[in-house]
Amino acid sequence: MAGPKNVLGGPLQVCCMSPRTGFFRTGKCETGVDDMGLHLVCAQMTEDFLEFSYEAGNDLSTPNPDYHFPGLQPDSRWCLCVERWKEALEAGVAPPVVLAATHISALEFVDIEDLLKHAVDAPQD
């Protein structure tokens, strides 16, 4: 059985293993019926985005030992909720994305052109 695909149509790659990310904490931005937030976008954190997320009510910087969450710093990679990435895009603070590790279902919410503009691994024609 083939695994999940990324937004480029290839196999979904690992986003980050340290800290271990993804709804299922597999390191991949995989999703399932219990993933109400749709953690689909593999993003590389920036100071601006972390501040934006904090102000929007989701503190990603502060460690939370109860959930084995070390807190994120700029340059950390994390599977973001696709709607939060879209909000950040509209606010002008969208963090860079890793296309190979971003789930294809993200394309139901955001345009590939927007992802390409923010990609750290944009394909070379």
Residue 124 has pLDDT above 80, yes or no: no
At residue 51, the pLDDT reads 97
Higher pLDDT, 6 or 123: 6
pLDDT tens-digit series, residues 52-85:
999 999 999 999 988 778 899 999 999 999 999 9
Q: Give the percent of the chain with pLDDT over 70.
A: 98
In CATH terms, the fold of domain 1-124 is: Phenylalanyl-tRNA Synthetase; Chain B, domain 1 (3.30.56)
Mean pLDDT of the 27-44 span: 96
Question: In angstroms, what CA-CA distances link 72 with 21, 50, 113, 121?
Answer: 11, 8, 27, 21
Domain boundaries, the chain: 1-124
Q: Is 79 helix (H, G, I), strand (E, B) or coil?
A: strand
- Give the E-state strand segments of 4-76 in sequence order: 39-44
Asked whether the beta carbons of 4 and 12 are under 8 A apart, the reply is yes
Average pLDDT, the chain: 94
